[in-house]
Amino acid sequence: MSLDLAHLDSHTRQFMLEEFEADLADGSLYCSPHLNEAGLANYPDLLRDAVLTGTEASLAEALYTGDTVRQPIRRQHLKELGPGEALADVTTNLAEREFHRFYIRGLCRRALDQGVSTLVIYRARPPDPGRAPSNTMVGVRIVVSSLLEDLRGTFRSLPPHGLPQCRDPGLSVRFPDDYRLREDDAQLATPSAAR
């Protein structure tokens, strides 16, 4: 199920694009070890397209249909998956992780641009029934500058799947309820699954 990203609109996308281009320019764009040779070559363009007009779901589809991800060698799930399901799972996780990370970075940049110092954690997707939900995090305010710094860092293994230090990939951030978007930002965003 796709993430319901509360402020995924053209304004946030512009900041997402700036963050993406900065990573690309300084050579810090994360390239997963799951990408094959074609994937390494095509990934930046596919991610840019998703940042500009797509979602994590469209990125996953582009990665999968473009034959850009290596078949996983070992199963990292408790249930048994066939090769096709395992490949789809790895592809979906990669697309969601990276698109969501750039979304949060873009939203942090937008918040800073508008003088907002904290964002609110919310549930962007129903909890996975196989995991204990992190509902205690919902409603907590998080400092924008610190969150942005954490998500811009270099990572020894995988970047965080959403919020750093939070194992629940269904959590995201949004503007506080008491903040009114500026008139030029007042367009409503729809769930990313609808795009």
pLDDT digits (tens, 9 = 90+) for 4-13: 999 999 999 9
Residue 179: the pLDDT is 77
Flag whether pLDDT at 187 surpasses 60: no
28-67 pLDDT per residue, tens? 999 998 999 999 999 999 999 999 999 999 999 999 998 8
Contact call for residues 16 and 51 (beta carbons, < 8 A) = yes
Residue 74: the pLDDT is 61
64-85 pLDDT per residue, tens? 998 899 887 765 543 566 777 7
Phi, psi of 127 (to 5 degrees): -65, 150
Please report, rounded to a whole number, the percentage of residues in the chain having pLDDT higher than 70.
Answer: 78
What rounded mean pLDDT belongs to the chain? 84
Contact call for residues 89 and 81 (beta carbons, < 8 A) = yes
pLDDT tier at 145, thresholds 50, 70, 90 = very high
Flag whether pLDDT at 185 surpasses 90: no
Length of the chain: 195
Domain locations along the chain = 10-185+187-191
Flag whether pLDDT at 181 surpasses 70: no
85-114 pLDDT per residue, tens? 778 888 898 999 999 999 999 999 999 999
Residue 157: the pLDDT is 60
- Listed in sequence order, the residues at least 6 apart from 53 whose beta carbon sits closer than 8 Å to its beta carbon are 13, 195
Q: pTM for this structure?
A: 0.85
